[in-house]
Structure 1
Amino acid sequence: MRPFRSLILLAAGLLFAPACGDNKTTTETSTATEQPPKLSKAPTFNADSAYAFTARQVAFGPRVPNSAAHLACGNYLVATLKRLGLKVREQPFSAMTFDGTNIRGRNIIAQFQPAAARRVAIFGHWDTRPFADEEKDPKKKNKPLDGASDGASAVAVALEMARTLSQQPDSLTPNVGVDFIFFDAEDWGYDTSTQSDLKNQLDETNGNSSWCLGSQYWAKNLVPAGYKAEYGVLLDMVGAKGGNFTREGISREKARAPLDRIWNTAAQLGYSDFFRFEDTDAITDDHVYTNQAGIPTLDIYDNPPYGESAFPPYHHTTQDNMSIIDRRPMKAVGQTLLHVLYQE
């Protein structure tokens, strides 16, 4: 998942920790307040397929921008989305990271039912962090990581949703078009808690961040041009054992209606063990920039219910590998989102 965890002040007045940030959010517990509508029928989300999509990405190796594994995985994602019959566009960009590295990035945009007027966006990031800086072992801090949950699992859930939708006959498709947008260069940011010995060479004033470079670029250069969606869902770290999804601060402020629909739908489906009715502080993640682009976006990410960190123990460590991946949270997320799409 995303970068630094230190708390910072949003222009909107919300206190937030970076999606890959430092500090634990305060938690309030509440319950659903409205009687949810009866669920519409939806196709079945195949968790085995989502697991396989996760493993396939991890098999390329760490997807660090400028690496051969990164290029190969990007090509695989584009080819897979095209094979599923979606309209696919690539958005190449160049950027400089906090440590002065010039990278070549690529956002990937795939549209299901591209002619539909009403649209919903499913966002995720497909790159991995180039260093495991949250490792307790100093010898491992500069090693790249597999990013099995942080990146691959979210893209895998989106790919399986796309595969499932592509298999439906025209008479059984949802009433909305769905856009699967995979951002690049999300995870090469400056973490103040683990990298204080390094200098951040980027200007992080005026809403800029060393994190989320791909979504920042996309928000300023929308693809498709003039893109609009009724709402967006950002997926991040949705595949680990014991996944715990809370109602994050920016999500509550910017996309409360779809957030409530998703959490209530998850409860109806029996997934409240994953989708917790708990309110937690805001974090810096790609949804910061998609909201700035005018798309009300909520974030579904693994927020542990214990300790002082807003992120799970595997975050930005070499432990983020296939050994922690569990089909159950991916099933909970994918099946819930399919039902929500079929409610529209």
Structure 2
Amino acid sequence: MRFLRLPLAALAGLLLLTACPSKTPDAGTDAGAPEAALPKAPVFNADSAYAFTAKQVAFGPRVPNSKAHIACGDWLVAKLKGYKLKVLQQPFDAMTFDGTNIHGRNIIAQFQPQAARRVAIFGHWDTRPFADADKVHKNAPMDGASDGASAVAVALEMARVLSLQPDSLAPAVGVDFILFDAEDWGYETTTQADLKDQLEESATTSSWCLGSQYWAAHLLPAGYKAEYGVLLDMVGAKGGTFTREGTSRENALGPLNKIWNTAARLGYSDYFRYQDTGSITDDHVFANKAGVPTIDIYHYNNSVDIFPAYHHTTADNMSIIDRKTLKAVGQTMLQTLYVD
């Protein structure tokens, strides 16, 4: 869940502050100087990422405390270990806004754990237990194909590809794939107003992103530091568009520019738009609080609806997943690791 916390007046202001999409890379470079060729990076396989998305969905909704959730978590751990990454698990208990005690598990996998320079790739692997934005099936669980599974699939494919590189072709940074749990069991004021009287006292912004909140308070690895982090969220749907989110600009403008400019040079500006949009509450908020300058790449719809129509509905299934979107995100992320 990427829950917008803006009053109506601020949202109206956002319509005025939001820039139009542009194909022009970020200013600050010498427009007259010839651009050096991008360093060689491995190829991101969109078919593989699509299969990883489908595999997660096949477990069923990955709702904490469910059999599908446990089975998918075990599969993720085994898969990452199979790529010879150093895998750590961080179990935790948390109370949801509706008083449910859940058992969560953050999963951390390290590529080149000995490297001093590090980049974090974040995502969440759980699904929301109810499709509260669905006009017909409001209480149904969701597949979470884009919202959750697609980001994890991109991370898995990046891990797979990197694990195949000889030392001479490995990036100059270590990469930590940090998959948060219990991100999406939060209270949504616009769709769950009928539950207001049932809320726990702690049901505020902190009702979202329970796994990243736990990780930020109990860093694993201990004392974790990274040059920057990238949160991937809803990165697999057809027509996916990603904008320069407010908290990302405030905390990690350098990495944000680097990624958007890399995407432009790869020909993916139709996906990565030079458009500044408002701040949202997502796992990157807590990664930033933990000292990791982190941006959020999520499917932005428009200034009015913010999130795409499938968001928190039963329509978030494999029918919306598009290999082209997965390729644009995954190849951009892989290439960025090789750009100084």
TM over 0.5: yes
Contact 1:81–1:88 (8 Å) recurs in 2: yes
- Structure-2 separation of matches of 1:281 and 1:48: 33
- Structure-1 separation of matches of 2:109 and 2:256: 23
Q: Does 1:186 align with 2:177?
A: no
Report the 3-state secondary structure (helix = DSSP H, G, I; strand = E; otherwise coil) of the residue aligned with 1:203: coil
Q: Does 1:309 align with 2:305?
A: yes
Look up the match of 2:83. 84
Q: 2:163 aligns with which of 162, 166, 175?
A: 166
- Distance change (3 Å), C-alpha of 1:53 and 1:266: same
Alignment of 1:92-111 (within 5 A): 92-111=91-110
Amino acid paired to 2:224? Y
Contact 2:44–2:161 (8 Å) recurs in 1: yes
Alignment of 1:1-344 (within 5 A): 2-7=1-6, 27-29=18-20, 31-32=24-25, 33-35=27-29, 37-137=36-136, 140-199=137-196, 200-203=199-202, 209-305=206-302, 308-344=304-340
Look up the match of 1:20. none
Give 1:154 deviation, angstroms.
0.2
Report the 3-state secondary structure (helix = DSSP H, G, I; strand = E; otherwise coil) of the residue aligned with 2:193: coil
Report the 3-state secondary structure (helix = DSSP H, G, I; strand = E; otherwise coil) of the residue aligned with 2:109: strand
Report the 3-state secondary structure (helix = DSSP H, G, I; strand = E; otherwise coil) of the residue aligned with 1:99: coil
- Distance change (3 Å), C-alpha of 1:75 and 1:316: same
Report the 3-state secondary structure (helix = DSSP H, G, I; strand = E; otherwise coil) of the residue aligned with 1:316: coil
- Structure-1 separation of matches of 2:103 and 2:4: 25
Any unmatched runs of 5+ in structure 2? Answer: 30-34
TM-score between the two structures when normalised by the length of structure 1: 0.92
Contact 1:25–1:280 (8 Å) recurs in 2: no
- Distance change (3 Å), C-alpha of 1:338 and 1:184: same
Listed one character per residue, the Cα deviations across residues 203-237 of structure 1 (whole Å, up to 9, x for unaligned) are: 256xx610000000000000000000000000000
Listed one character per residue, the Cα deviations across residues 5-31 of structure 1 (whole Å, up to 9, x for unaligned) are: 34169xxxxx79xxxxxx989521353
Report the 3-state secondary structure (helix = DSSP H, G, I; strand = E; otherwise coil) of the residue aligned with 1:330: helix
Give 1:44 deviation, angstroms.
0.3
- Structure-2 separation of matches of 1:130 and 1:26: 34
TM-score between the two structures when normalised by the length of structure 2: 0.93
Contact 2:5–2:281 (8 Å) recurs in 1: no
Give 1:202 deviation, angstroms.
4.1
- Structure-2 separation of matches of 1:97 and 1:126: 17
- Structure-2 separation of matches of 1:69 and 1:152: 13
Report the 3-state secondary structure (helix = DSSP H, G, I; strand = E; otherwise coil) of the residue aligned with 1:95: strand
- Structure-2 separation of matches of 1:299 and 1:220: 20
Amino acid paired to 2:206? S
Amino-acid identity (%): 71
Tell me the matched-pair count.
327
- Structure-2 separation of matches of 1:273 and 1:86: 33
Listed one character per residue, the Cα deviations across residues 65-108 of structure 1 (whole Å, up to 9, x for unaligned) are: 00000000000000000000000000000000000000000000
- Structure-2 separation of matches of 1:261 and 1:133: 36
Amino acid paired to 2:233? D
Contact 1:99–1:201 (8 Å) recurs in 2: yes
Look up the match of 1:19. none
Listed one character per residue, the Cα deviations across residues 247-271 of structure 1 (whole Å, up to 9, x for unaligned) are: 0000011000010010001000000
Q: Which segment is superposed worse, 190-199 or 123-132?
A: 190-199
Report the 3-state secondary structure (helix = DSSP H, G, I; strand = E; otherwise coil) of the residue aligned with 2:244: strand
- Structure-2 separation of matches of 1:225 and 1:25: 43
- Structure-1 separation of matches of 2:16 and 2:84: 41
Looking at secondary structure, tell me which structure has more helix per residue.
Answer: 2
